[in-house]
């Protein structure tokens, strides 16, 4: 079993090379023979060491209890969670620990996550979003080129949060502007009233109705009469006439004469009778009588940043930290691979934005020079189990999190052939 990130991980996409490597993996049991006597065992795969992970394994013992390779007996909390899914518990707990470390207070803010497509980063992204924080997620380079995965990570985040590829965060100015826009609410478009929409329509009508590319052209329209008689209710009725015309076009009815300027002229001369319409939102339907657009949503001040320590980022950070002088650091950067240089630059952008706001920066899944690393506590493990719990409808929604969001992962399961 493999995941999309970290040292011990599940790959989100299969490959012939990966499957060939999988066949060579030695059989490793992280629990004693008595604990796994039932034969129900699941392992994650450490794709760096190319071996079964002893930390990320889970088994059912003879008494029916679920035993994790790192956390031991999980008790009743794991009863409704598949073994394959529980192999990712350590990553989910790391994500919970990261969110707790930077956003433990009651106030909501903007949380930055580097490595959002890694297992622990994906957990941190979902848990922070579920707790009401606006998440700005950065997808690391090993997955940033996967369009489907990028959109999937965005889909895990509630508005006004978003996800961007690593190369976007490489530009410190662009990334800082994005975070600022989401934190202050200036990223979203503002609402417009029905009166504003009507005024814009009237201006466009008077400016362009004289055009005669299409016969029979446009009739003369008196602006004073238009302003006095063409009300928002009449504009709503005018918009509704396009629905009927759409039906005619679909059915192939070409006998009906349809000219929008002539329709407006006739409605000014003899206004249509309008009936009160129901209030509320109607999907896929535009209404000129109601405000439209997205109300500005402010994510709040930057609460902190969570960095997932990937092998590429770890190698780059250690190489630069080992250099003592500024010249040596420049030389170290020049000798990094493109992937390492991009990862290091993007992570530095995330750290810079958080530190400029006086917000904490923590790492999960490893340590980086100069930054604080956090390890999961028992409370973090319990929160991760609650988020991973499978509900009756098959979702991972958790009432403990007071939200409809749980903790989902992209998994590929490899089962051994029966002997």
- The answer to whether residues 388 and 405 belong to one domain is yes
Return the biggest CA–CA distance within the chain.
92
Give domain status of residue 20, yes or no.
yes
Q: d(Cα 160, Cα 249) in Å, to the nearest integer?
A: 38
Distant-in-sequence, close-in-space partners of 206: CB < 8 Å, separation ≥ 6: 221, 223, 226
DSSP string, 33-92: TTTTTT--EEEEEETTTTEEEEEEEEEE-TTS-EEETTTEE-GGGGTTS-HHHHTTHHHH
Q: Is 239 helix (H, G, I), strand (E, B) or coil?
A: helix
Give domain status of residue 344, yes or no.
yes
pLDDT over 70 (residue 394)? no
Length of the chain: 419
Give domain status of residue 291, yes or no.
no
The predicted-structure confidence for 266-290, as pLDDT tens digits, reads as follows 888 888 776 555 544 444 445 555 5
The last residue of a domain, from among 219, 251, 269: 269
- The answer to whether residues 156 and 85 belong to one domain is no
**According to the model, what pLDDT value does residue 138 have?**
93
- The answer to whether residues 185 and 307 belong to one domain is yes
210 band by pLDDT with thresholds 50, 70 and 90 = low
Helices (runs of H) and strands (runs of E) counted in the chain:
16, 13
What predicted TM-score, i.e. pTM, was given to this entire model? 0.66
Phi and psi (nearest 5°) for 308? Answer: -85, 125
Give domain status of residue 294, yes or no.
no
Q: How many C-beta neighbours within 10 Å does residue 123 have?
A: 33
- The H or E element spanning position 118 is none
Give domain status of residue 153, yes or no.
yes
Give domain status of residue 417, yes or no.
no
Which of 71-85, 199-213, 325-339, 399-413 shows the highest mean pLDDT? 325-339
pLDDT over 70 (residue 403)? no
DSSP H helical ranges for 139-216:
141-144, 147-155, 166-169, 172-184, 194-208
Q: d(Cα 71, Cα 367) in Å, to the nearest integer?
A: 21
The last residue of a domain, from among 247, 269, 291: 269
Give domain status of residue 278, yes or no.
no
Provide the sign of the torsion angle of the four alpha carbons 100, 106, 112, 117, taken in this order.
positive
**Rounded average pLDDT over 378-388:** 86
Beta-sheet pairing, 302-308 with 134-139: unpaired
- The answer to whether residues 230 and 172 belong to one domain is no
Give domain status of residue 318, yes or no.
yes
Say if CB 341 and CB 315 are below 8 A apart: no
- The answer to whether residues 101 and 82 belong to one domain is no
Higher pLDDT, 346 or 394: 346
Higher pLDDT, 209 or 85: 85
**According to the model, what pLDDT value does residue 347 have?**
92
The predicted-structure confidence for 109-163, as pLDDT tens digits, reads as follows 899 999 888 888 999 999 988 888 999 999 988 777 778 888 888 888 888 889 9
- The answer to whether residues 79 and 58 belong to one domain is yes
**Rounded average pLDDT over 61-81:** 81
8 band by pLDDT with thresholds 50, 70 and 90 = very low
Q: d(Cα 318, Cα 368) in Å, to the nearest integer?
A: 7
Over its C-alpha atoms, the chain yields an Rg (Å, rounded) of 29
**Rounded average pLDDT over 66-91:** 82
- The answer to whether residues 341 and 387 belong to one domain is no
What's the domain count of the chain?
3
pLDDT over 70 (residue 371)? yes
**According to the model, what pLDDT value does residue 207 have?**
78
**Rounded average pLDDT over 284-301:** 62
Containing domain of residue 60, as a range?
Answer: 2-90+380-412
In angstroms, how far is CA 97 from the centroid of its own chain? 19
Q: d(Cα 21, Cα 12) in Å, to the nearest integer?
A: 16
pLDDT over 80 (residue 68)? yes
Q: d(Cα 241, Cα 333) in Å, to the nearest integer?
A: 63
pLDDT over 90 (residue 305)? yes
Least confident of 94-108, 169-183, 290-304, 345-359: 290-304
- The answer to whether residues 171 and 304 belong to one domain is yes
12 band by pLDDT with thresholds 50, 70 and 90 = very low
pLDDT over 90 (residue 3)? no
């Amino acid at each position: 079993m493999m995941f999309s990130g970290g040292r011990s991980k599940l790959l989100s996409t299969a490959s012939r090379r990966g499957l060939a490597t999988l066949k060579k993996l030695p059989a490793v049991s992280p629990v004693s023979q008595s604990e796994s006597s039932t034969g129900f065992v699941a392992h994650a795969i450490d794709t760096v060491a190319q071996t079964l992970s002893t930390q990320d394994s889970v088994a059912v013992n003879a008494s029916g209890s679920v035993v994790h390779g790192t956390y031991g007996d999980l008790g009743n909390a794991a009863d409704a969670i598949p073994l394959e899914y529980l192999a990712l518990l350590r990553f989910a707990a790391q994500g919970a620990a990261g969110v707790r470390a930077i956003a433990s207070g009651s106030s909501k803010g903007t949380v930055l996550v580097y490595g959002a497509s890694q297992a622990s980063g994906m957990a941190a992204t979902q848990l922070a979003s579920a707790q009401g924080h606006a998440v700005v997620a950065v997808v690391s380079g090993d997955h940033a080129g996967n369009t489907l995965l990028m959109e999937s990570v965005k889909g895990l985040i509630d508005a006004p949060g978003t996800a961007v590829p690593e190369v976007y965060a490489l530009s410190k100015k662009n990334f800082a502007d994005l975070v600022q826009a989401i934190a202050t609410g200036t990223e979203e478009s503002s609402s417009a009233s029905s009166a504003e929409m009507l005024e814009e329509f009237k201006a466009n009508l008077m400016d362009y109705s004289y055009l005669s590319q299409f016969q029979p052209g446009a009739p003369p329209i008196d602006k004073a009469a238009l302003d006095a008689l063409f009300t928002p209710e009449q504009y709503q009725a005018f918009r509704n006439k396009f629905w009927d015309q759409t039906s005619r076009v679909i059915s192939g009815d070409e006998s009906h004469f349809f000219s929008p300027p002539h329709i407006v002229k006739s409605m000014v001369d003899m206004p249509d009778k309008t009936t009160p319409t129901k209030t509320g939102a109607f999907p896929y339907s535009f209404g000129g009588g109601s405000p439209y657009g997205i109300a500005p949503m402010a994510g709040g001040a930057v609460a902190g940043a969570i960095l997932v320590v990937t092998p590429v980022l770890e190698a780059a950070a250690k190489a630069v930290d080992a250099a003592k002088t500024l010249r040596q650091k420049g030389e170290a950067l020049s000798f990094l691979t493109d992937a390492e240089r991009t990862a290091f630059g993007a992570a530095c952008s995330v750290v810079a934005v958080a530190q400029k706001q006086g917000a904490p920066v923590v790492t999960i899944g490893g340590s980086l020079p100069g930054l604080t690393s956090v390890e999961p506590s028992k409370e973090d493990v319990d929160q991760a189990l609650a988020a991973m719990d499978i509900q009756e409808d098959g979702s991972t929604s958790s009432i403990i999190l007071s939200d409809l969001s749980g903790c989902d992962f992209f998994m590929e399961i490899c089962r051994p052939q029966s002997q």
